[in-house]
Amino acid sequence: MGYTLAQKIICKHLVKGDMVRGQEIAIRMDQTLTQDATGTMAYLQFEAMGIDRTKAELSVAYVDHNTLGSGFENADDHRYIQTVAKKHGIIFSRPGNGICHQLHLERFGIPGKTLIGSDSHTPTSGGICELGIGAGGLDVAAAMGGGAYYITMPKIIGINLVGTLKEFVSAKDIILKVLSMLGVKGGVGAIIEYKGEGIKQLSVPQRSTITNMGAELGATSSLFPSDEVTKQFMKAQNREKDWVEIKPDMDAEYDEEYTIDLSELVPLAACPHSPDNVKPVSELSDIKIDQVCIGSCTNSSMTDMLTVAAMLKGKTIHPDVSLSISPGSRQVYEMLSDCGALSDLISAGARILECACGPCIGMGFSPKSSGISLRTFNRNFLGRSGTADAKVYLVSPQTAAASAITGFITDPTACSKIPEVKMPEHFKINDNMFVLPASKEEAEQVVVEKGPNIKDIPVGKPLEDSIECPVLLKLGDNITTDHIMPAGSKILPYRSNVPKLSEYCFSVCDKTFPERAKKAGKGIIVASNNYGQGSSREHAALVPLYLGIKAVVTKSFARIHKANLINFGIVPLTFKNENDYDKIEMNDEIRIDNLIDSIKNGNEVILKTPTQNIPLVIDLTERQREILLCGGLLNYVKKG
């Protein structure tokens, strides 16, 4: 039997285990990336490991999340990241240079390599057949220290693309179609591979839109082959020497397969408040909008921006609509300026934001109260925009541009034909906003600067044999890391200050939670399916650890968040019988005994309430059991 794309890459990087679905494997990671919202913690953890210099082939620290300078906190974090990067052999991407995933695709990603990043959208690199995996910052720190990344061998889902896209139908509509088919849990425990004749018409930026939003499926990663399209992109970036052809074997077998006929696709929109709540745009035409945001790591490439500029040229956006444009990188920004497309956008009434994540994470440009916002982004979780009651729709750049003009959600296929937009044959190369690290000799003289907002990392304690505490919170399905630890311009500056950050924990669900947790001293959380979906932010585990959370009991977990809980010594437990979820109530006093022996030997545990006993499952690998017993990954690494 032949190999799929993922199997070929994993095989070459396999450090431990066998490529048998469901078994734990360890993969060597060639490259690492961080962004500033997760980077400070990752580098504090890396420093705590006592390693002088990154051992990865390439490590890059990007600044793209916390770029609003409303106080000293973000600037201090940036300075810390820049100095720690200089000292430890890490390339630093300065604020304003662009969004990490767009930049990495342009300047550093290599087909066949592995990449681990402290951001859930790291699989964007799958657009050039680099196996990108999102993880918590502690896992990234371990990879920089030379450690392998441990995962359960994923199943491989093949999606066969056939037919040809109609005009004004785009890659965004393809991934929205996949989300409508599989749902936000459909990719959990899987790597998704795209194949078929239909992929030939998709440029690398279009492919990366699809692999980027594989994160919304819960997928470990997503991949396209490295072919002539990939070669053309890398040649245009003056990186043709890094190209290598990678295709699946003719007799490769997939665990699941689906087919999408691109000729049947229509413009789609993900409706509030989930990326898989997908409807045809034509069914939403009576919805008046207040705001349109174009950009983010999903749709901010040169071709995306040129398409929007062509649609807006000579027109004016509707007077009731506010339109923002966020180019994905300074390369894109400069080229838009050089070719005149930037002028077309400005003339139409667009507000040009800096090359950063911005509105995607509620960092500015939040909608009005109860506002309707169309966004070319990847997530529309409740409150993520920075406005608690806003309604966010995820759409393609074509739908966004058409709607900005009319003031209503508009099917772009009704628009007049626009000039064909193609990827440039040559991109403008200027890497002067990347700061190279000091040499090994010079590094000894570099002083790492830490501002007063950067506090020590909470560290878990060795596991106790019993847990006796209240149920501090009971939650439903699809609780995201945005629910657990919100983003936004008011909160993100405290990502380096866990005590302050704890004041906002679960504030989207229950504003009383932080105070109740502090008063109780310890507790557990109970939730339903897919707990912890969304961002890789390890703060969604770090802050509950600080607030005394000992365990989380659910029907099922999202992959990255479960790993983060283990990394910080919080026990992830699942119901043996899902109906038992209904037998536990908030404020119940619970007890779990013999926890150490159960974790060592893989047994079930019994959660005791005042009225009944509920069996729970401990679904862990041997390594994860050892990490939990030590009280977290940092203690485990130090123990050796």
Q: Read off the pLDDT band of 488 (50, 70, 90).
A: confident
Name which of 240, 298, 237, 242 is nearest 107 in CA terms.
237
Termini Cα distance of the chain: 38
How much is the pLDDT for 588? 96
Cis peptide before 273 (omega within 30 of 0): yes
Q: Read off the pLDDT band of 322 (50, 70, 90).
A: very high
**Per residue in 65-95, pLDDT tens?**
988 877 899 999 999 999 999 999 999 999 9
**Per residue in 188-236, pLDDT tens?**
999 999 999 999 999 999 999 999 999 999 999 999 999 999 999 999 9
How much is the pLDDT for 640? 67
Q: How many angstroms separate the Cα of 474 from the Cα of each of 516, 525, 565?
A: 13, 6, 17
Q: Read off the pLDDT band of 283 (50, 70, 90).
A: very high
The residue-averaged pLDDT of 176-184 equals 97
Strand (E) positions, 153-251? 155-162, 190-195, 221-223
How much is the pLDDT for 487? 85
- pLDDT > 70: what percent of the chain? 100
Strand-pair partners of 13: none
Is the per-residue pLDDT at 166 higher than 90? yes
Name which of 441, 543, 449 is nearest 76 in CA terms.
449
**Per residue in 518-571, pLDDT tens?**
999 999 999 999 999 998 889 999 999 999 999 999 999 999 999 999 999 999
Q: For the chain, where do the domains classified as CATH 3.20.19.10 start and end?
A: 467-639
CATH class of 467-639: alpha beta
Whole-prediction pTM value?
0.94
The residue-averaged pLDDT of 388-396 equals 96
How much is the pLDDT for 68? 83
Neighbours of 405 (CB within 10 A): 21
Q: What is the DSSP letter of 188?
A: B
Which residues have C-beta within 8 Å of that of residue 50, sequence separation ≥ 6? none
**Per residue in 24-54, pLDDT tens?**
999 999 999 999 999 999 999 999 888 999 9
Strand (E) positions, 454-599? 467-474, 523-526, 549-554, 571-575, 589-592
134 sits in which H/E element: strand 131-134
The CATH topology of domain 5-264 is: Aconitase; domain 3 (3.30.499)
Q: Read off the pLDDT band of 419 (50, 70, 90).
A: confident
Strand-pair partners of 494: none
Place domain 268-411 in its CATH homologous superfamily. Aconitase, domain 3 (3.30.499.10)
**Per residue in 223-282, pLDDT tens?**
999 999 999 999 999 999 999 999 999 999 999 999 999 999 999 999 999 999 999 999
Q: For the chain, where do the domains classified as CATH 3.30.499.10 start and end?
A: 5-264, 268-411
112 Ramachandran zone, left/alpha/beta (phi>0; psi -120 to 50): left
How much is the pLDDT for 456? 83
Is the per-residue pLDDT at 422 higher than 90? no
